[in-house]
């Protein structure tokens, strides 16, 4: 079948004519195919209309995709750095050419704003261009030996087939991150995008790599309907050709997948959620701290694993900081993600909106003060600031995926660090201070994979590793992740004969 077939147009919830849904197959062995079980509907969070129709893959389609990846692996593992880099440079050019279309697709499929979509795609282009250079990074090292005429080396070799689970909330950047590292390391990949963003988080990446000249079978994409990931996951864990599971998503799902990977003796790489603290010290520039806090808490409607979930403010600044943060939150423009000035778009699903609202209501019922927000207009939840939140409220201890932030007054930097470390999450964090040396010293005590000083908790630089500690997972993105997707093999060469004991 043609992997994309336009159907009739329809009217949006705003009454404006919109493009009708497009139909997509799944991508296996370099071909777009139909699934035996048919298709499922992918909804636009803003209009609540069908955005796309995608293949409903099951175990058979997944097994075929794994077979294609396994068959393509030996040749891809031997592909030269120049060939890999050429494909990726072409892919970066295609992303740049299609960037407005890709940003609009993300807005329609996931509700992210055009601002966020363009931000993501700028990162994607940087990521692909940098990844082209990773192919030339050292692939091993030479070790000293205690024996004469002996050369001892350690080389990195690809694992085989990697199964990558990609999420909806940073659909383009996270999909490319989940694919490029194993790919550059010499592995082949089978991608399972979330059913909430099969197009942005998988299908479009396959389109681009295919156009760029990636050989058949090196990257494959299997999509599935709501609640139908089980058979695909079963095949990933039970098929011996899959050597690594690469997951970006929530802590509960990551915990379950890691257990299954351990039982199957498959390597796993996990980038999980976080309850990310932002600390405002007593010497911070107040206006700047408010801008950083609002961006950290509310960018992409609070639906990024790197969003700030709690803001810890020194008591000397607390009252004025809270007043200004509330004003800033109330001034953020909300509405259609396709309008240029929108900062707050819809939450991904009605169920997600209900969960956020329930968390806020639970906190208020337990004694928290609602300083702003706590309401919604259709699928858009207002930026919400909570104070005096008790520890037994879910929003105080669990990642709430929405535009909700908890503010707390602290007596000292030491108390702020203690509160920042009180939960077992450890993804990212931030410190705002007028004294960078003081902030750097304080950062040494924060247990998180990233500490951003005088920056938002969301601050992606492609060359820097991103990943968590403790319950926020293990493994890293970027060039640092090549070790996660390769085996270290010791190769020892003896020139001449070595004297062996007792022989």
In the set 129, 195, 305, 399, the catalytic residue is 305
- Please report, for the domain that includes residue 185, its CATH number: 3.40.605.10
Instruction: Measure the CA–CA gap between 304 and 223, rounded to whole angstroms.
Output: 22
Q: Are residues 90 and 134 in the same domain?
A: yes
pLDDT value at residue 472: 87
CB proximity list for 119: less than 8 A, separation 6 or greater: none
Q: Are residues 305 and 264 in the same domain?
A: no
pLDDT value at residue 1: 36
> Does the residue 167 lie in any domain?
yes
> Does the residue 474 lie in any domain?
no
pLDDT value at residue 502: 78
Q: Which of 210, 240, 272 is the last residue of a domain?
A: 272
Q: Is 305 a catalytic residue?
A: yes
CB proximity list for 27: less than 8 A, separation 6 or greater: 3, 33, 203, 206, 210, 219, 220, 221
- Picking from 408, 405, 448, the residue whose alpha carbon sits closest to that of residue 429 is 448
Q: Are residues 259 and 295 in the same domain?
A: no
Q: Is 238 a catalytic residue?
A: no
> Does the residue 223 lie in any domain?
yes
> Does the residue 480 lie in any domain?
no
pLDDT value at residue 225: 95
Q: Are residues 65 and 196 in the same domain?
A: yes
Q: Are residues 110 and 256 in the same domain?
A: yes
Per residue of the chain (503 residues), give pLDDT as tens.
333 333 333 333 333 334 568 999 999 999 999 999 999 999 999 999 999 999 999 999 999 999 999 999 999 999 999 999 999 999 999 999 999 999 999 999 999 999 999 999 999 999 999 999 999 988 889 999 989 999 999 999 999 999 999 999 999 999 999 999 999 999 999 999 999 999 999 999 999 999 999 999 999 999 999 999 999 999 999 999 999 999 999 999 999 999 999 999 999 999 999 999 999 999 999 999 999 999 999 999 999 999 999 999 999 999 999 999 999 999 999 999 999 999 999 999 999 999 999 999 999 999 999 999 999 999 999 999 999 999 999 999 999 999 999 999 999 999 999 999 999 999 999 999 999 999 999 999 999 999 999 999 998 777 777 888 898 888 887 788 888 999 999 999 999 888 888 76
Within a 13 Å sphere around the CA of 257, how many CA atoms are in the beta-carbon half? 27
Q: Are residues 248 and 350 in the same domain?
A: no
Instruction: Measure the CA–CA gap between 92 and 429, rounded to whole angstroms.
Output: 30
pLDDT value at residue 20: 63
Q: Which of 272, 289, 305 is the last residue of a domain?
A: 272
- Picking from 262, 241, 323, 265, the residue whose alpha carbon sits closest to that of residue 289 is 323
In the set 96, 271, 323, 340, the catalytic residue is 271
Instruction: Measure the CA–CA gap between 226 and 42, rounded to whole angstroms.
Output: 9
> Does the residue 5 lie in any domain?
no
Q: Which of 252, 272, 292 is the last residue of a domain?
A: 272
3-state secondary structure 19-84: CCCEECCEEECCEEECCCCCEEEEECCCCCCEEEEEECCCHHHHHHHHHHHHHHHHHHHCCCHHHH
Q: Are residues 53 and 196 in the same domain?
A: yes
Q: Are residues 143 and 217 in the same domain?
A: yes
> Does the residue 303 lie in any domain?
yes
> Does the residue 463 lie in any domain?
no
- Number of domains forming the structure of the chain: 2
> Does the residue 17 lie in any domain?
no
Maximal CA-CA distance, the chain: 89
Q: Are residues 359 and 320 in the same domain?
A: yes
Residues 251, 471: contact at Cβ < 8 Å? yes
Q: Are residues 222 and 130 in the same domain?
A: yes
Q: Are residues 123 and 249 in the same domain?
A: yes
Residue-range definition of the domain harbouring residue 332: 276-453
pLDDT value at residue 460: 73
- Please report, for the domain that includes residue 416, its CATH number: 3.40.309.10
Instruction: Measure the CA–CA gap between 209 and 218, rounded to whole angstroms.
Output: 10
Q: Are residues 263 and 339 in the same domain?
A: no
pLDDT value at residue 19: 53
């Amino acid at each position: 079948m043609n992997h994309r077939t336009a159907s009739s147009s329809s009217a949006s919830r705003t009454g404006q004519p919109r493009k009708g849904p497009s139909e997509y197959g799944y991508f296996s062995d370099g071909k777009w195919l139909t699934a035996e079980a048919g298709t499922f509907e992918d909804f636009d969070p803003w209009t609540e209309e069908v955005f796309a129709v995608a293949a409903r893959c099951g175990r058979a389609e997944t097994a075929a995709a794994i077979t294609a990846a396994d068959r393509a692996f030996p040749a891809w593992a031997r592909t030269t750095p120049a060939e890999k880099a050429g494909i990726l440079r072409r892919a970066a050019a295609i992303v740049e050419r299609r960037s407005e279309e890709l940003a609009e697709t993300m807005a329609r499929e996931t509700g992210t704003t055009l601002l966020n979509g363009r931000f993501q795609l700028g990162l994607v282009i940087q990521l692909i261009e940098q990844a082209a250079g990773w192919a030339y990074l050292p692939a091993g090292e030479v070790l000293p030996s205690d024996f004469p005429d002996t050369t001892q080396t350690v080389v990195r070799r690809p694992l085989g087939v990697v199964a990558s689970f990609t999420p909806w909330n940073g659909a383009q950047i996270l999909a490319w991150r989940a694919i490029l590292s194993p790919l550059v390391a010499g592995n082949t990949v089978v991608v399972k995008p979330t059913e909430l963003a099969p197009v942005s988080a998988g299908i479009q990446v396959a389109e681009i790599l295919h156009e760029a000249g990636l050989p058949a079978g090196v990257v494959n994409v299997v999509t599935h309907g709501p609640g139908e990931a089980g058979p695909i996951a079963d095949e990933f864990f039970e098929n011996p050709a899959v050597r690594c599971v690469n997951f970006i998503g929530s802590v509960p799902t990551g915990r379950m997948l890691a257990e299954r990977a351990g039982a199957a003796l498959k390597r796993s790489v996990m980038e999980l959620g976080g309850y990310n603290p932002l600390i405002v010290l007593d010497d911070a520039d107040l206006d700047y701290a408010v801008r950083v806090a609002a961006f950290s808490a509310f960018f992409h409607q609070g639906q990024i694993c790197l969003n700030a979930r709690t803001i810890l403010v020194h008591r000397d600044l607390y009252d004025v900081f809270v007043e200004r943060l509330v004003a800033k939150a109330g001034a953020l423009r909300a509405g259609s993600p396709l309008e240029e000035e929108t900062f707050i778009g819809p939450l991904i699903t009605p169920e997600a909106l209900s969960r956020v609202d329930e968390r806020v209501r639970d906190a208020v019922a337990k004694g928290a003060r609602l300083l702003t927000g706590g309401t919604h207009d259709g699928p858009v939840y207002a930026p919400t600031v909570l104070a005096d939140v008790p520890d037994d409220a879910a929003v105080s201890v669990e990642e709430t995926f929405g535009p909700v932030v908890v503010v707390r007054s602290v007596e000292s930097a030491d108390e702020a660090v203690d509160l920042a470390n009180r939960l077992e999450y450890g993804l990212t964090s931030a410190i705002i201070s007028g004294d960078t040396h003081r902030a750097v010293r304080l950062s040494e005590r924060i247990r998180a994979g990233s500490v951003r000083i005088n920056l938002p908790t969301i601050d992606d630089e492609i060359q820097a590793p991103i990943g968590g500690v403790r319950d926020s997972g293990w493994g890293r993105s970027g060039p640092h992740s090549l070790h996660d997707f390769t085996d270290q093999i010791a190769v020892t060469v003896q020139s001449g004969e070595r004297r062996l004991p007792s022989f």
